[in-house]
C-alpha cells in the first residue's frame, strides 16, 4: 500500500518553469556574461549550488554562496506573487490528505520560495514535509532527498510514489526503488522518450487522477498502488 506521495515543486505542483527560464538568462545578462542558448535546460537538472557553480564557470565574479543567495532573491518575488499551481494540484493534495496519505515536497529550489508559493496557493496545509536539495546536500542526481522523505514517514521506497516532471529525477527515483508518476510539463517535452522509460505512469494533469481515485475512499492507498503505478 502507498503510504506517502513525494512531489517535486517546479513543473509538478507549481507552474514555475517559465519563471526559472527567464531568471536563467536575466541573471546572466545582469552579470555581463554570455549564456548558452540551452542553458535553462541544463539548469533544470541541477541544485541551486550547482547552478551557481555554472554561472561562476561562465565568469560571474561571486562565490557559490553569493550566487545562490542572489538567484533565490530573484525567484522569491515570483513565488510570492505570480507563480500559479499546476491545474488541480491543490485539489489532489487535499484528496490525499483526506484519505490519510502523507505528502512531501522535495525540491531543487530554495525551500523558502517554494513554501511561499504553496502557502499563497492554499496547498501548504496538505504538505507534511518540505525539503530542499540544499538541505540534503545533494542534487536529484542522487536519491538522498527521496530516501529522506520516505524515512521521515517510516516508509520503504516501494510504499511511496514520486511525482516528477524531470526525466533525470525520475530515473534517480526509479533506480532507488520508488514508483514514479510523470507529470507532463512543457519544459520537459523534448525528453519524452526518457520520461516514458523512467515513469511507471505518465499523466497530463492531476484531474485524471482525481476522477480515478475519488471513489476509493479509505482504500485510496491501495488504489494508488494499483492505478498510479501501472505502466501505460
Tens-place pLDDT, residues 81-121:
989 999 999 999 999 999 899 999 999 988 999 999 999 99
Tell me the HSE value of 175 on the side-chain side, using a 13 A CA sphere: 11
Last residue in a domain, options 66, 81, 96? 81
For residues 43 and 157, membership in a common domain is answered with no
d(CA 226, CA 215): 14
For residues 58 and 112, membership in a common domain is answered with no
For residues 201 and 104, membership in a common domain is answered with yes
For residues 57 and 10, membership in a common domain is answered with no
Exposed (0-12), middle (13-18) or buried (19+): which is 137, by Cβ within 10 Å? exposed
For residues 91 and 62, membership in a common domain is answered with no
Last residue in a domain, options 81, 110, 127? 81
Packed helices 206-213 and 89-98: angle between N→C axes, nearest 10 degrees: 30
For residues 66 and 107, membership in a common domain is answered with no
* DSSP at 227: I
For residues 162 and 175, membership in a common domain is answered with yes
d(CA 195, CA 173): 12
Domain count, the chain: 2
Q: Which domain holds residue 49?
A: 17-81
User: Which residue numbers in the chain have pLDDT < 70?
Assistant: 187-190, 215-221, 223-224, 226-232
For residues 92 and 202, membership in a common domain is answered with yes
Return the pLDDT at 198: 93
Q: Any idea what the CATH number is for the domain that residue 65 is in?
A: 1.10.150
For residues 121 and 12, membership in a common domain is answered with yes
Return the pLDDT at 218: 53
For residues 92 and 122, membership in a common domain is answered with yes
Cα 73-187-212 angle, rounded to 5 deg: 110
Q: Any idea what the CATH number is for the domain that residue 172 is in?
A: 3.40.50.1000
> How many other C-beta atoms lie within 10 A of the C-beta of residue 190?
12
Give me the numbers of helices (H) and strands (E) for the chain, helices first please. 12, 8
Return the pLDDT at 226: 67
For residues 121 and 49, membership in a common domain is answered with no
For residues 173 and 145, membership in a common domain is answered with yes
Last residue in a domain, options 33, 57, 81? 81
- Among 173, 174, 114, smallest CA distance to 148 is for 173
* DSSP at 7: E
Yes or no: say if 199 and 180 are a contact pair by the CB < 8 Å rule: yes
Amino acid at each position: 500500500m502507498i503510504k506517502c506521495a513525494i512531489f517535486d515543486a517546479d513543473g509538478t505542483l507549481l507552474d514555475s518553469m517559465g519563471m526559472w527560464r527567464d531568471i536563467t538568462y536575466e541573471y546572466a545578462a545582469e552579470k555581463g556574461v554570455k549564456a548558452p542558448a540551452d542553458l535553462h535546460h541544463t539548469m533544470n537538472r541541477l541544485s541551486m549550488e550547482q547552478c551557481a557553480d555554472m554561472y561562476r564557470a561562465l565568469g560571474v565574479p561571486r562565490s557559490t554562496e553569493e550566487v545562490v543567495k542572489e538567484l533565490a532573491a530573484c525567484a522569491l518575488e515570483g513565488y510570492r506573487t505570480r507563480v500559479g499551481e499546476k491545474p488541480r494540484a491543490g485539489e489532489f493534495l487535499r484528496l490525499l490528505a483526506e484519505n490519510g496519505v502523507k505528502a512531501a515536497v522535495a525540491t531543487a529550489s530554495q525551500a523558502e520560495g517554494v513554501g511561499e508559493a504553496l502557502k499563497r496557493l492554499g496547498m501548504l496545509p496538505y504538505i507534511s514535509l518540505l525539503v530542499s536539495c540544499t538541505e540534503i546536500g545533494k542534487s536529484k542526481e542522487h536519491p538522498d532527498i527521496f530516501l529522506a522523505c520516505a524515512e521521515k514517514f517510516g516508509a520503504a521506497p516501494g510504499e511511496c510514489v514520486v511525482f516528477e516532471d524531470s526525466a533525470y529525477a525520475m530515473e534517480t527515483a526509479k533506480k532507488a526503488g520508488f514508483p514514479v508518476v510523470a507529470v507532463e510539463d512543457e519544459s520537459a517535452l523534448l525528453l519524452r522518450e526518457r520520461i516514458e522509460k523512467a515513469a511507471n505512469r505518465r499523466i497530463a494533469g492531476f484531474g485524471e487522477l482525481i476522477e480515478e481515485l475519488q471513489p476509493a475512499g479509505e482504500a485510496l492507498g491501495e488504489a494508488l498502488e494499483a492505478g498510479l503505478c501501472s505502466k501505460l
